[in-house]
Structures are given as C-alpha cells and as structure tokens.
Amino acid sequence: MEMSHHKADHSGSTTPLGQPGERIVKLLGQPHLADYLRFFASRVIDGETIPPKVLAAEWRKANDRYYALLTEQAGVAETIEDLPLPAELEGPAAELMAQDHYLQAYDSVLTEIRWVELAKLVVSQGSVGLDHSDVLRNTLGDDRNIIELFDFCLPRTHQPAPVSMLRLPADRYIFSSQSTDLRFHEIQRMTAAQAQSIASFGLVTTGLMLPVGYGANLLSGIGSDKRIVLQNGYHRAYSLLAHGITHAPMVVERVSCLDELNLVGSDDVTDDPAHYFRSPRPPLLKDFLDPELTRQVTVYPLETRVEIEVKVRTSTGPAPRRVE
C-alpha cells in the first residue's frame, strides 16, 4: 500500500470554479530572486511575457527596502502584543480545546489560545489569495461581534470544501480538492463494528481505513521567545488586518528548542529558523498591505491531490514452528 502526498501550504485557499485564475498579493524582496523569477515563469498567467530584468528590478527595490527596515524596525517582531483572551471568549475557547480534532492536532508542545496582534506576526508564506480573502471578509461582515470573530478564526464547526475521487487502473485512487489543505491522515484499523457494517460476499472481520481530509483549520502560530510565526490561516489573518481588525484569537504553540520546532513547524520555517526567529526585521503580516513590498498578479489556480495505491498479497503456507 503506497501513499504519495502533496504537502499542504497551511493556507486552505480555494479558487471558485470557472474562474481562469486567482488574484494574489505577492511579497517581493525575499527570500530569493531566482525563486521569484521561477514563480512568474510557472505560476503567473502571461508571466513569461514580462522581461526578467523588469522583475529583477522590482524585486531588488523591495529587497533594498527590507535592508533599510533591518535598521529602521529592528526588533519590531518582539513587540507583538500576545495577550490573554478577553473574558467573553473563555467559554468558546474551552469548548474548542475539548474537541477531539483540537486535542489531536495540538498534542506535541505547550499550546494556548491567545489574543494576538496581527500586524507583527512573522510570515513565512510569500503570497495570499485576494479572491479567497475577499470571500472570507464578506462572511465576517462589519459588526465585528467578538464571538463571530472567534468562530471566524477558530471555527468550532466545519464546512469542508468538496473532495472528488477518481479511480485509476491498478487500484490507484486520486482524491482532489481546490483547497490546499487537503491531506492524507494516519492509517487506522477498523473496529469490529465498523468492519461488520461493510457489505461484502462474506463476513468482514477487520480492515484498514485510509482517511483523506483536512487539517484542524484554525488560525495558529508558533511562539518562541517574544515572536510568533504565523503557521496556519494566512487568508483569515490577512482579511482581518485588511478589514481594520488589529487583534484576533489564535492558537499559539510554544517551542523552546529546535527539536520542538521540527515537530510543529512548516518546511519553510524549519529549513531556515534563524531567518524567522533571529533576523532583526523578518517579513511581517503587515508587509502584505505595503505597496512598496508587494505586487498583485493573477496566477493559474492550484488543485491539491492525494494519490493512494493499494497492493494486496495473499499467500498460504506452513505456519512458523516454535523451536523449544
């Protein structure tokens, strides 16, 4: 039984069906110019028509701006407000933290639900989908009820995006979704009751489940020292900040060493932790709202796929003999 995984990017973004592409806002100036040029060549609609010199010049301008920010805003990430939840949210938080999906998703390090300043969250993801963010912002509305804000950031009920399944020859199955959060979960053995409920040509006594679905889908970050790196919920965080909301409830996973970070961090963060936790002025969520540091483009929509291949071998032979 072989499973090939498409790694999720923690954004949970979707592109509405029928749209030729998705508008995104892209951070310039980091991490690498070569990556920026490849991004335009492979993902941006008509990106190959833009001369590399033009792209390199705008990237360099933003990179120079970041270099200046190393001095002008040195230490700003450490000034983020990381506060206890307002009293009105203690009940919803307790309810959420008692749910199975929360307990299973955050079972590795010390975890809290905090009231966090959005603008100074450190970011490792280089783009945010504007179409998806606009949809999210419309669902939030303008009254800014604090309980609705909690459920927007940390939903206690879920409405997952649709998942399609395609069966291929040789017992291969492809599950796909427009959400980048689609993923394979851990293999589980069926209980006797679950196995007996399966209609088959004979009695089914046991089996394996190969679950495909989504993550906890909560606004979350990784806290170390006085910084918080945004981990999941980029579109919601961006939507809130662009909507004029400065603070929001979020799950904060506390790490104190590299081993703990490797347990819970995304690949971008664990590959270069010093950039996000030690740089005097790392990229911040508020940078997505700075026209000097961003460019809006339209990209080809993504589809996340999980492929599962099943191979079954049955053999009959002498049972092993015990040697006394």
The DSSP-derived string for 300-318 is: PPP-EEEEEE--------P
Residues 32 and 180 in one domain: no
- What is the reported pLDDT for 233? 92
Residues 186 and 226 in one domain: no
Give the residue from 151, 185, 214 where a domain finishes. 214
CA nearest to 36, candidates 293, 321, 253: 293
Half-sphere exposure of 272 (CA within 13 A, CB side): 11
Residues 7 and 53 in one domain: yes
Residues 59 and 201 in one domain: no
Is residue 315, in this structure, part of any structural domain at all?
no
Cis peptide before 51 (omega within 30 of 0): no
Is residue 301, in this structure, part of any structural domain at all?
yes
- Give residue 94's Cα distance to chain centre: 23
Is residue 313, in this structure, part of any structural domain at all?
no
Inter-residue contact 239 to 247 (CB < 8 Å):
no
Is residue 317, in this structure, part of any structural domain at all?
no
Residues 47 and 104 in one domain: yes
Residues 81 and 199 in one domain: no
Is residue 133, in this structure, part of any structural domain at all?
yes
Is residue 311, in this structure, part of any structural domain at all?
no
- What is the reported pLDDT for 20? 67
Please measure the distance between the N-terminal and C-terminal CA atoms of the chain and give it in whole angstroms: 36
Token pair, residue 218, equals: 């909560």
CA nearest to 219, candidates 261, 252, 175: 252
Please give the sequence-ordered ranges of beta strands (E in DSSP) within the chain, or none if there are none: 2-4, 22-27, 82-83, 111-117, 127-129, 164-168, 172-177, 183-184, 188-189, 208-209, 212-213, 220-224, 227-232, 247-254, 294-299, 304-309
Residues 184 and 153 in one domain: no
Residues 48 and 148 in one domain: yes
- What is the reported pLDDT for 324? 63
- What is the reported pLDDT for 160? 78
Residues 31 and 178 in one domain: no
Is residue 195, in this structure, part of any structural domain at all?
yes
Half-sphere exposure of 153 (CA within 13 A, CB side): 31
Residues 131 and 198 in one domain: no
Residue 27's domain comprises: 2-160+215-305
How many domains in the chain?
A: 2
Cα 14 to Cα 265: distance, rounded to the nearest angstrom? 23
Residues 56 and 185 in one domain: no
- What is the reported pLDDT for 190? 86
DSSP-assigned beta bridge partners for residue 25: 128, 296
pLDDT under 50: residue ranges of the chain: 1-18
- What is the reported pLDDT for 172? 92
Residues 254 and 202 in one domain: no
Is residue 143, in this structure, part of any structural domain at all?
yes
How far are the Cα atoms of 77, 204, 289 from residue 321, in angstroms, in the given order? 65, 28, 71
